[in-house]
Amino acid sequence: MPDKVRIAIDAMGGDHGASVILPGAEISLVRHPDIEYVVFGNSAVVEPVLAGLPRLKAASRFVHTEVAIRMDDKPSQALRYGRWKSSMWLALDAVKKGDADVVVSAGNTGALMAMARFNLKMMEGIERPAIAALWPTLKGESIVLDVGASIGADENHLINLAMMGSAMARVLFDIDKPTVGLLNIGVEEVKGLEQVREAGRILREQPTPHFEYHGFVEGNDIGKGTVDVVVTEGFAGNIALKTAEGTARQFGQYLKSAMSRTFAARLGYLLARQAFQTMREKMDPQRANGGVFLGLNGVVIKSHGGANAMGFAAAIDLGYDMVRYELLAKIGQSMARDLPASTGTERVASGAAS
Amino acid sequence: MPDKVRIAIDAMGGDHGASVILPGAEISLVRHPDIEYVVFGNSAVVEPVLAGLPRLKAASRFVHTEVAIRMDDKPSQALRYGRWKSSMWLALDAVKKGDADVVVSAGNTGALMAMARFNLKMMEGIERPAIAALWPTLKGESIVLDVGASIGADENHLINLAMMGSAMARVLFDIDKPTVGLLNIGVEEVKGLEQVREAGRILREQPTPHFEYHGFVEGNDIGKGTVDVVVTEGFAGNIALKTAEGTARQFGQYLKSAMSRTFAARLGYLLARQAFQTMREKMDPQRANGGVFLGLNGVVIKSHGGANAMGFAAAIDLGYDMVRYELLAKIGQSMARDLPASTGTERVASGAAS
């Protein structure tokens, strides 16, 4: 474990760019003084902001880049004009070259994933990447993956997701054996996808020293916090994540309009505003901001494009924890020891080291 | 359209059985005095409850049945012991024989679907059934289907879902051309399932006189009410539905605990309790209770097993509207006129009449 955690920042991504990203980086630096940043971006944009943040500036090395990836370009377009030279590419490249331990970007998700795959390559034994999300639950937080890196999953990929997700839970939640559930549907007639059932059978029958297989869970179990790690393929996972975000926003709107309708309600709101604030913080997606790209030879954190400085700081904090508590090494342990016979490929721990 | 709406009730289903179902039927009868019921169930259970509800009793014909389907049996088991003689089967059979226009059951979903397919058979031109759910949104309500009748969908099934869902929207929302969206995921890199894209292409290119194709929608669009009808295959649809239920419950819990934490918050709660009540009603799943089974030669409404009397009444109301405003005929119109060339099968309106 290095003395310093070296974080590469793509300062050009997100809806607000450097004006939110750099203040976010400073917030995280105050919490973790052992961070060293490498900041990639256009000097005309970045340097004025850095000049106003002397503490951040002192802990950062700045690298000027001419090209920035646009938020709505397709991955193929982004690769065409941004490979080798964009702030996003060079931030990833810093991890590839060993100049940084983790990269954090609020940029275009598809482009970031495409560049990460292209540059960092997949871990040995893993064929497809995944995006893991932190999900607030009634018991605290759970990890849900895949929330949209790829569509569909056979039983081997689902088992890989279980191994990677549980490694992330060990890093984040400080538990030895996180519980893992496979997301399925409860209607008896259909009994769920064949691949999900097959993955369930393998996970029940084979030893999993680094996590405890709980069984199937349904959509409503995610918010309950029934398990630490919810495993699903990316199409259903992305729809679940976005649907929950939509429902939370809907509830917030209902509450807002209900609390402003009458004088008594407005007065009640004033009296209870501290309680509302606490609740809002609990539901605030900024608090648990950041998807983790898993399966790559390097740690990549994707912040929401619309995150504010606090949100971007949360994404950096997540990246910091992933490095400090050695996510990649823990995934490597799982790959080497959990379910060694689950696929035809021989898996070795060294293949997982970045 | 008949003078009376004849509703077959399976009085033995659900977590609470006849003691909730029959009071629910009476509530709906008060709202719709043109209902006639046929009630199926065990006389030892049903008759004492009916005796206490004279108004309902006067509008009902009661049929004694020996066998009741258990809530947790598999469809195959239920068919084995319940075919020809259970309250569930005979309620469906009343629709099949033309003795009733719609059946409402709070029983075992898988068993109800299996018996409905077996007894009523699929509509001509439709190979697989669907379950449509009413979803409360910021704009009112939308229809989401399929929420779990079958897993996976090719482009033809997705188009059938669009036709059936839009026919249901025309019945319920009193609009000529409901908007229809295909649920997809927004990560550019993966661009969504091939079948979803292909269905989108067909819906864009071909005329759809009975609905307006909006395009792709994402999970967070459901709660926004972006479209009247959200079309998805049953695995993702079921996960979206259950995830939203879980998130709503989670929000309710946060609110409850936040509002009881301090004296000021408790006082605020008292002042605002009318506002909270309004909000709770908006989020209450009982208000929009009832999944509609689509694609069968008959109208089948599934109430939540845990519904209370008000919830069961909502499910009956839904069935009432489906009959009164001629759901099956409207589906038949769509099948005959929308997208006639979308599959190889010749579709005729008469094939859809029950």
Q: What tens digit of pLDDT does each residue of B290-311 get?
A: 899 999 999 999 998 888 999 9
- Give the list of residues 6+ apart from residue B161 with CB closer than 8 angstroms, or none: B130, B145, B146, B153, B231, B232, B294
What was the pLDDT predicted at A260?
A: 80
What digits encode the pLDDT tens for the residues A128-185? 999 999 999 999 999 999 998 988 999 999 999 999 999 999 999 989 999 999 999 9
CB B152 within 8 Å of CB B238: no
Write b or e for each residue in A244-278: b if 16 or more Cβ atoms lie within 10 A of its Cβ, otherwise e.
bbbbbbbbeebbeebbeeeeebeebbebbeebbeb
At A135, the amino acid letter reads: W
What was the pLDDT predicted at B263?
A: 80
Asked if B267 has any chain A CB less than 8 Å from its own CB, the reply is yes
Chain A positions touching B283 (Cβ under 8 A) are 251, 254
Q: Which helix (H) or strand (E) holds A41?
A: strand A35-41
User: CA of A101, closest CA in chain B: separation in Å?
Assistant: 25
User: CA of A73, closest CA in chain B: separation in Å?
Assistant: 8
Kindly give the parts of chain A with pLDDT less than 70. Answer: 1-2, 187-191, 282-288, 337-354
- For chain B, percent of residues with pLDDT exceeding 70: 91
Chain B positions touching A275 (Cβ under 8 A) are 258-259, 261-262, 264-265, 268
- pLDDT tier, B350 (very low <50, low <70, confident <90, very high otherwise): very low
Question: For residue A320, what are its two tokens?
Answer: 């910091």
Question: Is B247 in Cβ contact with A244 (below 8 Å)?
Answer: yes
What was the pLDDT predicted at A35?
A: 97
What was the pLDDT predicted at A277?
A: 76
Calculate the average pLDDT of chain B: 88
d(CA A337, CA A166): 13
What was the pLDDT predicted at B187?
A: 53
Helix extents (H) in chain A:
18-31, 43-51, 54-58, 75-82, 87-96, 109-120, 155-173, 194-205, 219-224, 234-259, 263-271, 273-283, 309-324, 327-337
Chain B positions touching A253 (Cβ under 8 A) are 138
Asked if B271 has any chain A CB less than 8 Å from its own CB, the reply is yes
What digits encode the pLDDT tens for the residues B32-78? 999 999 999 999 999 999 999 999 999 999 999 999 999 989 899 99
Confidence check: pLDDT of B347 > 80: no
Asked if B306 has any chain A CB less than 8 Å from its own CB, the reply is no
What was the pLDDT predicted at B259?
A: 78
d(CA A47, CA A54): 11
Confidence check: pLDDT of B3 > 90: no
Asked if A235 has any chain B CB less than 8 Å from its own CB, the reply is yes
Q: Which of A166, A168, A165 is nearest to A177 (CA)?
A: A166
Cis check for the bond before A10: say yes or no (omega within 30 of 0): no
Please determine, for the modelled complex, whether the ipTM score is greater than 0.85: yes
d(CA A22, CA A54): 11
Mean of pLDDT values over B147-171: 94
Chain A positions touching B140 (Cβ under 8 A) are none
Chain B positions touching A282 (Cβ under 8 A) are 254
What was the pLDDT predicted at B346?
A: 39
Full-model pTM: 0.89
What was the pLDDT predicted at A338?
A: 59
Question: For residue B322, what are its two tokens?
Answer: 């489906």
What was the pLDDT predicted at A72?
A: 87
d(CA B354, CA B352): 6
What was the pLDDT predicted at B285?
A: 62
Question: Is B274 in Cβ contact with A264 (below 8 Å)?
Answer: yes
What was the pLDDT predicted at B271?
A: 79
Asked if A175 has any chain B CB less than 8 Å from its own CB, the reply is no
Asked if A48 has any chain B CB less than 8 Å from its own CB, the reply is no
Q: Which of A135, A195, A241, A251 to mutate to test binding with chain B, by most B CBs within 10 Å of its CB?
A: A251
Q: Contacts from A188-192 at CB under 8 Å and sequence distance 24+?
A: A188/B74, A188/B75, A188/B108, A188/B109, A188/B110, A188/B111, A189/B75, A189/B109, A189/B110, A189/B113, A189/B114, A189/B149, A190/B110, A190/B148, A190/B149, A190/B150, A190/B151, A190/B234, A192/A216, A192/B151, A192/B235
Question: Is A74 in Cβ contact with B239 (below 8 Å)?
Answer: no
User: CA of A22, closest CA in chain B: separation in Å?
Assistant: 26
Greater confidence (A262 vs B91) lies with B91
Question: Is B274 in Cβ contact with A272 (below 8 Å)?
Answer: no
* Closest chain B residue to the Cα of A148, Cα to Cα: B187
What is each CA distance from B226 to A147, A225, B139, B246, in whole angstroms?
Answer: 22, 29, 8, 21
Q: Which of A275, A280, A289, A201 is nearest to A241 (CA)?
A: A289
Q: Which of B71, B115, B139, B190 to mutate to test binding with chain A, by most A CBs within 10 Å of its CB?
A: B190
What was the pLDDT predicted at A44?
A: 96
At A31, the amino acid letter reads: R
Of the candidate ranges A246-260, B174-188, B262-276, the one whose mean pLDDT is the lowest:
B262-276
Q: Which of A78, A79, A7 is nearest to A36 (CA)?
A: A7
- pLDDT tier, B1 (very low <50, low <70, confident <90, very high otherwise): low
Class of residue B182 by CB neighbours under 10 A (exposed 0-12, middle 13-18, buried 19+): buried
CB hemisphere CA count around A280 (13 angstroms):
10
What was the pLDDT predicted at B284?
A: 67
CB B229 within 8 Å of CB B166: yes
3-state secondary structure B169-203: HHHHHCCCCCEEEEECCCCCCCCCCHHHHHHHHHH
Residue B299 β-bridge partners: B102
* Closest chain A residue to the Cα of B246, Cα to Cα: A220
Q: Which helix (H) or strand (E) holds A127?
A: none
Residue with tokens 């105050």: A30
Mean of pLDDT values over B91-111: 96
Chain A positions touching B276 (Cβ under 8 A) are 258
Confidence check: pLDDT of B227 > 50: yes
Class of residue B140 by CB neighbours under 10 A (exposed 0-12, middle 13-18, buried 19+): exposed
d(CA B283, CA B279): 6
Asked if B236 has any chain A CB less than 8 Å from its own CB, the reply is yes
Asked if A190 has any chain B CB less than 8 Å from its own CB, the reply is yes
